[in-house]
Amino acid sequence: MKMQKNYVALIFIFLIAFFVGWSQEYKFQHITTVDGLSHNEVRRIVKDSHGFLWFGTQNGLNRYDGYRFKIFKNIPGDSTTIIGDKIYSLTTTKDKLWVGTITGLSVLNTTTLEVIPIPNIHNAIGENGVLQLYCDGSNKVWLSTENENFVIDAESLEIVPILKGFRIASVAKGFDSSYWVGTDKGLLRFNYDSSTIIKNYDIGSMGVYALDEIFTNSYGEVWITLGDKILRYQSERDRFIEVHDSESLNAISGNNEGDIFFGSYGDGLLKYTRDTGIFEPLLANPENHLSISSNDVYDVYVDDEDIIWVGTQEGLDYYDYSRHRFNSLVHLPENGNSLRSSFVQTLFQDADGTFWVGTRAGIDQIIFEEGYTNPKISHIDMRTKGYESLNKEYITSIYRDSKDRMWIATMNNGLYMIHEKNNIFKQFLQNDSEVTSIASSSVRAILEDHLGRMWFGTGGGLSLLIEQDGADYSFENLGYSKLDTNSLPLNDIYSVFEDSKHRIWVGMNKGGVSLLQENGGSKSFLRFNHIPSDSKSISNDEVFVIYEDVKQRVWFGTSAAGLNLLKEDGRSDIKNGYYFQSYTEIDGLSDNEINAILEDDEGDLWVATNTGFSKFNTNSETFTNYSTYDGVLKGKFRKNARWKSEDGTLFFGGAAGVNYFNPNNFRLNNLEPDPVFLDLLIDGKVIEIGQLLDDSVIIDEPLSSGSVVRLPGNDNRFEIEFASLSFTSPFRNQYAFKLEGLDKDWRYTTGKDPSARYSRLKAGNYRFYLKAANNDGVWNENPIYLDIVVRANFMDKNIVKIGIVFLFLLTLFFGVLAFKKYKSRGLANKGNPKVKKFHKPIDPNLEGENIEKIKELNLLMETDKIYLDSELGLSQLAEKIEVSTNHLSMLLNDYIGKNFYDYINHYRVEEVKRRLKDPNYQKQTLSSIGGDCGFNSKSAFNRIFKNLTGKTPSEYQNMHLN
């Protein structure tokens, strides 16, 4: 009996560990009232026919477009608002949202967002709480109160009673034309057309307040939550069987793979995996901010993008797979199965799959299960090897050579060699009295070349291991010599690399890169340094990273000027025909400091920078950037801390731990987004349908493709807000817009600022086009549009202009006559200067405030230089001086005479001009100077600079430095 108890305990512990491991796969983001939700208790979730998400809470209805909430609440005595704020049920039909509250039903037109009058429905159900709403996609809406049941025609709004004598708790459409109806008298299989009960399944009572649920799917399955039980239909035996139990089950939804999620009031979320047939719980964990918010779940909804939305008692949670493609290993102080230090400097995988992780505080070993799951981390105790200092040493590189020797390099304590098979343990330190000792005790890089020679990059130069009889070790050291131009240019080495052509490259801090050239027993170096006047030189002298891709192209990562590709088709008499092509932030790279490079199985380069990862498509020469928003660890990655496993999994180490991921497993979003217009704003205020401005209606219908916007001629600053209704990483969505009649090219923005702004349009007709791309760059090439009509001012009308010309000529005629008359009398006054009179502002206080804001704005630009931020937008600048975006546009246009982009680019160009004239910037490429000064593309930088100065950046620099 005791042994049985022990087995039970072991099984329980195993299951706990298994479930915890599974739960880490589902990392939830959280939305609360802080983010604009009207209430944290989210009871119902649906998506309407336009693609908007709706959340019913205990205090209001919320529409969500991926960026913003629009809240609908009851206003007592106002029949145009929803009937109540405590929402129990929601369903949708074409262009309608059906809202069941504790005080009755409201129907919302999802196009106009107006409450539809439903007097006959109100007469039928009164003010009873609507506890259940269901629509299967047809025009029939099932509605249940505590004591009555109805079916409503969604078009005609005709309402008829159904199943009198039953209290309906839940309804679902069957695989055939029948319905499954859960009632207080059991489960009914019901034929709607004939109004007959096909069968009553005696599974127990389903309560209207118990939130019991029925779910059917495309597999022809029927699932039921009944109290604490999950039942599944056996079609071959026409019966329901219990398959699982949990606490207070109340919601069901399924994804595209057929997996099913169950909500529980008390036991969180439960996942049924179709492939394994296993039920797995997902619980709230106060120590894990990526777990669900609460174990009290009211509703779960999986949308067509497979995002899981969970309504809980403590807010809205959602799992977006695209934001968690990057797994991580970190240091957790109270967890022994975590890294000993989050500062990871090097990674190496042994032939048996074991990972060696070198940190600032020693070495860890990691063993993964298949698929790189459930890592087991152990902290290596080097005391057993006789090297206790390695337990806390700053490890810079780890490598096992072809002779099965493990080499461990440290930042300050030399080089270690461990050959356990031969029982050899050695430490190599720099010794000034021994010429053949290693060049420096600071060892950063290890290389075994194709001849089996061991090379070590150190802080004192390059060291080549010399072995005699396998027992005596010494080093040949190669370094900088002031008298030898063929020596290394600097001794501070961080990378040593041999390419497929057996060329050995040496990267240095501030010394550029050098190529080893061997001729017999002599060794020399061909140097490559940054030359400011030569765009084909390496872009920066801080070269820490060297990498070769499968096409045998050699790449060099610098610490301040981006990525460099070695080109070999130059003049053979100049550097053996070698030169470089650079890629920087201006070309789309996330950051100019390159820390590591790996190539995936598709041939794309993954570049680790200080801000995340940049995936570089070498064919199209385009970058896709990933940051903490996508699940990348915060903190900069470390130089050359990377590894690629045989199955294509990429590992990168950094100051916050290890990120690992397999791009082959990335699930791409191939759904084309559907862009929508949300609101039109003037002076920061939303324009309502039918609202008057200057005695004219601006919009007379909801904004949609083809709508007409009419703007006054003298005050036409406006902003259009839009969205794509793709909820997969919505901030990574892209938008292209163009105002035909003004813009020559498409303008672009992202989900960080999904809006467009214009001002001071001339009278005429314009068409505003908008198209969108999802988070993975899939564009919907069919743009939507708005027609914008700018009315002419009174002074622009032709008859007024003709009248003015006539009056002018008439005045001129009489003026000449008067002049002649006064001249003849000698009364002309020639010496009195004219004094220009200024018109008094209508509101002197407002005028003064605007002038102060202009001073504040100019001071901000001159002292903080915020124009250097390439991501600076109108809204961010407006926040800085605490005005609306429209107010800022007015200030720029009316007081400075420039639009936002001209104003910012003026400062950027002035800063570029200053740097181009400064000799200290000669070593920096022109494109990187432009990037540092806020220009986010090379073409834009060159175009804008030439437009404002009349010269290209290179012409301007040469003119002032020569």
One-character DSSP codes across 13-46: HHHHHHHHHHHTT---EEE-GGGT-S-S-EEEEE
Tell me what the mean pLDDT of segment 669-681 comes to.
Answer: 95
Q: Beta-carbon neighbour count of residue 82 at 10 Å?
A: 23
Sequence-ordered list of residues with C-beta below 8 angstroms from that of 96, at least 6 positions apart, any chain: 107, 108, 109, 110, 116, 154
Closest CA to 371 of 356, 358, 353: 353
Tell me what the mean pLDDT of segment 519-526 comes to.
Answer: 92
Residue 896 confidence (pLDDT) above 70? yes
Element (H, E) at 209: none
Residue 315 confidence (pLDDT) above 60? yes
Q: What angle do CA 471, 495, 498 make, to 5 degrees?
A: 75
Whether 50 and 705 have beta carbons less than 8 Å apart is answered as: no
Q: What are phi and psi of 125, to 5 degrees?
A: -105, -15
* Helix ranges restricted to H, 24-110: none
Q: Beta-carbon neighbour count of residue 480 at 10 Å?
A: 16
**Distance (Å, whole) CA 638 – CA 653:** 6
By the 10 Å C-beta count (0-12 exposed, 13-18 middle, 19+ buried), 952 is classed as middle
774: confidence class by pLDDT, cuts 50, 70, 90: very high
Reduced to 3 states, what is the DSSP secondary structure of residue 537? Answer: coil
Tell me what the mean pLDDT of segment 645-657 comes to.
Answer: 96
Sequence-ordered list of residues with C-beta below 8 angstroms from that of 649, at least 6 positions apart, any chain: 372, 660, 661, 662
Reduced to 3 states, what is the DSSP secondary structure of residue 877? Answer: helix
Q: How confident is the prediction for the chain on average, in pLDDT?
A: 89
- The 10s digit of each residue's pLDDT in 283-312 is 999 888 889 999 999 999 999 999 999 999
Parallel, antiparallel or unpaired: strands 596-599 and 605-608: antiparallel
The 8-class DSSP code of residue 893 comes to: I
C-alpha distances in Å from residue 705, one per residue of 712, 730, 746, 862, 912: 21, 21, 18, 43, 42
pLDDT of 727: 96
427: confidence class by pLDDT, cuts 50, 70, 90: very high
For the ranges 153-162, 376-385, 861-870, the lowest mean pLDDT is seen at: 376-385
Residue 569 confidence (pLDDT) above 60? yes
- The 10s digit of each residue's pLDDT in 908-936 is 999 989 888 887 777 778 888 888 888 87
Comparing 23 with 438, the larger pLDDT belongs to 438
Beta strands in 479-608 (DSSP E): 493-498, 504-508, 512-519, 522-528, 543-548, 554-558, 563-567, 579-583, 596-599, 605-608
Closest CA to 327 of 650, 573, 36: 650
- The 10s digit of each residue's pLDDT in 164-177 is 999 999 999 987 78
Q: What are phi and psi of 242, to 5 degrees?
A: -80, 130
* Helix ranges restricted to H, 864-899: 874-880, 885-891
Residue 962 confidence (pLDDT) above 70? no
For the ranges 6-10, 118-122, 619-623, the lowest mean pLDDT is seen at: 6-10
6: confidence class by pLDDT, cuts 50, 70, 90: very low
pLDDT of 295: 96
pLDDT of 312: 97
For the ranges 526-540, 568-582, 778-792, 810-824, the lowest mean pLDDT is seen at: 810-824
Closest CA to 883 of 860, 907, 901: 860
First-to-last CA distance in the chain? 94
The 8-class DSSP code of residue 896 comes to: I
841: confidence class by pLDDT, cuts 50, 70, 90: very low
Whether 770 and 721 have beta carbons less than 8 Å apart is answered as: no
Whether 82 and 72 have beta carbons less than 8 Å apart is answered as: yes
pLDDT of 798: 56
pLDDT of 398: 97
pLDDT of 828: 39
Write the Ramachandran bin of 927: left for phi over 0, alpha for psi from -120 to 50, otherwise beta.
alpha
151: confidence class by pLDDT, cuts 50, 70, 90: very high
**Distance (Å, whole) CA 463 – CA 774:** 51
Comparing 866 with 92, the larger pLDDT belongs to 92
Comparing 817 with 136, the larger pLDDT belongs to 136
1: confidence class by pLDDT, cuts 50, 70, 90: very low
pLDDT of 17: 38
**Distance (Å, whole) CA 548 – CA 502:** 12
C-alpha dihedral (93, 97, 101, 105), degrees to nearest 10: -70
pLDDT of 796: 53
